Amino acid sequence: MKKHIWLLILLLSTSLLAAKSASKDWEIFLDVLPNARAYMEVATIWESYGAYVDQVEVRRGDVAFLVNKTWIYYQDGRLLSERNLRNSHRYDSLFTEYDQKGPVDRLPRQQRLPRSRDLLHAMFGRTDSQVRKHCVTMTFLNHEVNVNRVCAQALREIEREIYAAAAYDEDVRRFVEELSVIYSFHRKTVKGSRTLSFHAYGLALDLIPGSYDNKHVNWQWSRSFKRRWYSIPEDQRWSPPPAVMNAFLSHGFIWGGDWIRFDGVHFEYRPEIAYSRLPQSVDFWYGGLAARVGLK
């Protein structure tokens, strides 16, 4: 039975992600991963970034990925390099950050912990010039963008779907026609922190429309004139047409408009999050299979 698990994962995820084939006996992880969620998260990391992973094995009682000579440890979703292991409590899981969506009545009291960039640094480097080597210039919706190679194919498919929708959906056609700027790769940090934004890795796009139709689009702009900016109802927030959203969401991107600190123009490539939200992966990991292999 266990032998079929990875085959099934591959079948499930080929629609979302392209990954290299398994070269390892994956059964060993059943002993070190505590539950179905952990197993799903490890599987999705490997599926999403398999092309950058040279080796996967059990180290220090955890699953570890060898990425460009750096071991990255699963650490319950935190994905940390060896030198960050003792600081594990200072990081949040890559998978839990977007659980809570706006609008909300009040801001969560707890301060958010940062998500480690160790995996991104191991894959793409830390400096501007290192990351640049992983980026390609391409045309997307008639604008020139500079993006990480890892998401270029996804963007081609997204573009194809958006153009197909524009043929019969007037809102989509107008959105594409009036699109004024697309911001892609540029060096910047997440506001209020020293953590690099996904733009700094070529993994995020801001699609700036011709008009926001007098709606709220970014929490930082709204908070200067709206005290309870986090409770602004959905119908007063700007968002791209549904077909545009769906195209991004079905190819591994998440949307910044979903966050409490909303950013309606921002899409970022997080195939691991996208995968873990798919109903079929949830069914797969938390349903019958998890029970059959004895996972909680």
- Residue number, 37 or 199, with CB nearest to Zn ion: 199
Is 206 a binder of Zn ion (CB under 5 A)?
Answer: yes
Residues of span 179-198 touching Zn ion by CB under 5 A: none
Give the C-alpha distances (Å, rounded to integers) separating 274 from 31, 155, 278: 26, 15, 7
Is 270 a binder of Zn ion (CB under 5 A)?
Answer: no
- Residue number, 78 or 266, with CB nearest to Zn ion: 266
From the list 53-61, 88-96, 103-111, 202-210, the region that binds Zn ion by CB under 5 A is: 202-210
Task: Tell the smallest beta-carbon distance from residue 245 to Zn ion (Å).
Answer: 15
Q: What is the 3-state secondary structure (H, E, C) of 160-209?
A: HHHHHHHCCCHHHHHHHHHCCEEECCCCCECCCCCCECHHHHCCEEEEEC
Is 266 a binder of Zn ion (CB under 5 A)?
Answer: yes
**CA geometry: angle at 64 spanning 34 and 187, to 5°?**
115
Task: Tell the smallest beta-carbon distance from residue 196 to Zn ion (Å).
Answer: 12
Q: Which two tokens stand for residue 77?
A: 């979703």
Task: Tell the smallest beta-carbon distance from residue 266 to Zn ion (Å).
Answer: 4
Specify the residue for token string 């939200």.
277
CA-wise closest residue to 255 among 235, 237, 229: 237
**Count of chain residues binding Zn ion (CB under 5 A):** 3
Task: Tell the smallest beta-carbon distance from residue 206 to Zn ion (Å).
Answer: 4
- Residue number, 54 or 144, with CB nearest to Zn ion: 144
- Residue number, 124 or 262, with CB nearest to Zn ion: 262
Task: Tell the smallest beta-carbon distance from residue 144 to Zn ion (Å).
Answer: 17
d(CA 116, CA 89): 11
Is 134 a binder of Zn ion (CB under 5 A)?
Answer: no
- Residue number, 90 or 221, with CB nearest to Zn ion: 221
d(CA 210, CA 269): 24
Task: Tell the smallest beta-carbon distance from residue 101 to Zn ion (Å).
Answer: 18
Query: Cβ contacts of residue 193 below 8 Å, gap of 6+?
Result: 114
H or E segment and range at residue 268: strand 266-269
Q: Which residues bind Zn ion (CB under 5 A)?
A: 204, 206, 266
